[in-house]
Amino acid sequence: MQVEWLCSGGNWANAYVAGNLLVDAGIMPMAVAPHKEKIDTIVLTHCHFDHIARVKEIAHMCKAKVAIHKADARGLVDDAHSLAMNFGARSPGILPDFTLAEGDTIENFVVIHTPGHTPGCICLYSEKDRVLISGDTVFADGYFGRYDFPGGSRTELARSLERLSVLDVEGLYAGHGEPTEEGGSRCIAAALGLMTSGYG
């Protein structure tokens, strides 16, 4: 499956278009507008404000449904949970159309629950295409997401990285930084190695 990177720059999270999905919605709506006719679902990898800031506007523009893991749904309405106050802003103030859980299938992806950065962090994995959209769980530079925010856990993040390390991944499309279209499994292995060495 083709994954298109919508780079937001600055402190805002990457967004990706994959089939009829938009993954994450911190990006400006005008960047999504060329894809609005095909996007019918917005999947949020977790509830931090840099990933959800414009979900209300984008969902309205695309007439799309919004999905997030049930453990992070509160962040769409709770400023403390979303860290919106760190951005001098408020949470979007919407409820998801449906919530996601481990093992759910959406488009051609399987939902993998990867807590640690937040309680409801998820990744989307296509075994057929060897593609992982990883949010802030793991990055293509071989590093992992922060676990020092409220609801974060180093122990849970380490477990999540261990789960991801057994997947066959070429394309790794993370919440920040440049994605990679090859060698994704090596990036995950590097992040797990850092974690188990005690770094961070």
Structural contact between residues 175 and 14, judged by C-beta atoms closer than 8 angstroms: yes
pLDDT mean by block of 10 residues, the chain; 200 residues:
86 95 96 97 98 98 98 96 94 97 96 98 98 98 95 97 98 96 97 89
Residue identified by tokens 């850092």 is 194
Architecture of the 3-196 domain: 4-Layer Sandwich (3.60)
What distance in Å separates the CA atoms of residue 133 and residue 172, rounded to the nearest whole number? 6
Could you tell me the pTM of the whole model?
Answer: 0.97
Query: Residue 131 forms beta bridges with which residues?
Result: 126, 171
